[in-house]
Amino acid sequence: MSNFDSYRESAHESFKPLPPEVIVARARAATRRRVVVVAAAAAVVIAVAGVGVGLRLRSDGLGPAPNPPVMPSPSVTLAPVTPSPSASPNPGSPSATGTPSGSSSGSGQPGGSGPPDVPRSSSTSPAPAPLSMRKVDVENTTIRFPARHDDDDCPSGELEVVDGAAGSDTFVHPSYGGGSPAYGDVDGDGRVEAVVWGSCTSGPGDDASGQLLVLNGRTGKVAGMGWVGPVGQVINDVTISGGRVVVTVTQKYYDVKQERTYRWNGSRFVQSAGPTAFPSPS
C-alpha cells in the first residue's frame, strides 16, 4: 500500500464534521449578512456622494468582496500560517494542529496586509494566474471555444480573436447589440463569468446565427463554459441574477418579448424558467 493509499483511506477520520445544523444556520446568517452589507454600502455611497468620491460596487449585489484572486502564487498558499485563532479552539487533536513543516519554501507572508491584488511572483513555479473576466477584451484575446451541442459546424478549441474575429468565419462580440458583456457568477464558485455573443458563418441560419457564450478565466485563460439558449435569437437584454443567466428575447419580425432563464447544470446551460418557444404567429 502506498502512502497515498493510506492517506486517502484513513486521513479523513481525523476530520469530524460539525453538526449539519451549524452549516445550515451559517448559510442563513450569510444570506442575511449580505443584505446588511449591501445596505451599508449604499449608505456609504450616499454619504460620500457630496464630496465627489466614487465608490465602485459590485453590480451583482453580492456584497463588497472583490472577485477572489484566483490562483495563488505559491507564497500565498505556502505561507507559514499566521498564528490564527484556529490554533486553540479548533476541534483537532493537538498533535495534528501544528503546521507540519517549518521548513517549507514559502516566503513569509505579511499577514494579509499587502494589497490584495498584487500577484507575488515566484521563481520556482508560478501557477497559471486566473483572469478577471471584467478586464478581458473579448474581441482581442485567445478563447477556448466549447463545442456547440446543437451545431457541429462551428469551430471549437482554442482560437485567437483579433478585433472580434477568429479567422474568417468565427466572431465574438461583448454583447448582441453592442455594449459590455453581462457579468456575474453563474456557477457559484465565487468567480465572475462574462456572457458574450459568438457567431460563426458556417452555422445554420443567416446573419443572426450567433449564440450567447459564457466565458470564464478560472484557469488563467479565457475559456468558454458553454453556449446558452438557441442559436439565432434576437437578444434584447442579458443579466445574471441569482446565479442564473436571464435573457430577454424578441421574436424575429414580431414584437413579442419573452424572458428566459438558464442555469448551469455542472456541464452545460439548461433552461430553468420562461417559455421555450414563441407562440406561432396567427
Partner 1 sequence: MRPEPGPAVRLRAVAGGRGEFDAFYLAWYGRITAQVYAYLGDRGDAEDVTQEAFVRAWQRWGDVSAYEDPVSWVRRVAWNLATSRLRRMTTAAKVMRRQPPPGVVPGMNPDHVLLVAALRKLPERQRRVIVMHHIADVPVADIAHELGVPTGTVAAWLHRGRARLAEDLGPRWEVPS
Find the shortest distance in angstroms from Cβ 128 to partner 1: 6
Instruction: Tell me whether residue 38 or residue 208 sits nearer to partner 1 (CB atom).
Output: 38
Strands lying side by side in the sheet with 244-250: 234-241, 244-250, 257-264, 269-273
Dist. CA 58–CA 45, nearest whole Å: 13
Find the shortest distance in angstroms from Cβ 245 to partner 1: 13
Find the shortest distance in angstroms from Cβ 152 to partner 1: 20
The only residue of 183, 191, 215, 247 in contact with partner 1, by rule CB under 8 A:
191
Which residues, at least 6 apart from 216, have a Cβ–Cβ distance to it below 8 Å?
Answer: 133, 191, 193, 194, 222, 223, 225
In the window 243-282, what residues touch partner 1 (CB under 8 A)? Answer: 243, 263-267
Instruction: Tell me whether residue 12 or residue 252 sits nearer to partner 1 (CB atom).
Output: 12
The only residue of 61, 63, 69, 205 in contact with partner 1, by rule CB under 8 A:
69
First and final CA of the chain: distance in angstroms? 71
Three-state DSSP state, 239: strand
The only residue of 56, 124, 276, 281 in contact with partner 1, by rule CB under 8 A:
124
When asked if residue 180 is in the footprint of partner 1 (CB under 8 A), the reply is no
Q: Are strands 234-241 and 222-228 parallel, antiparallel or unpaired?
A: unpaired
Find the shortest distance in angstroms from Cβ 221 to partner 1: 5
When asked if residue 64 is in the footprint of partner 1 (CB under 8 A), the reply is no
When asked if residue 9 is in the footprint of partner 1 (CB under 8 A), the reply is yes
Find the shortest distance in angstroms from Cβ 250 to partner 1: 28
In the window 20-39, what residues touch partner 1 (CB under 8 A)? Answer: 20, 22-24, 26-27, 29-31, 33
214 touches 246 (CB < 8 A): no
Find the shortest distance in angstroms from Cβ 24 to partner 1: 6
Interface region with partner 1, contact rule CB under 8 A, candidates 82-90, 197-205, 228-236, 274-282: 82-90
Grid cell for residue 171? 466572431
What separation in angstroms does the CA of 71 have from each of 8, 87, 121, 208?
Answer: 25, 26, 12, 37
Place of cell 486521513: 11
In the window 149-178, what residues touch partner 1 (CB under 8 A)? Answer: none
Three-state DSSP state, 279: coil
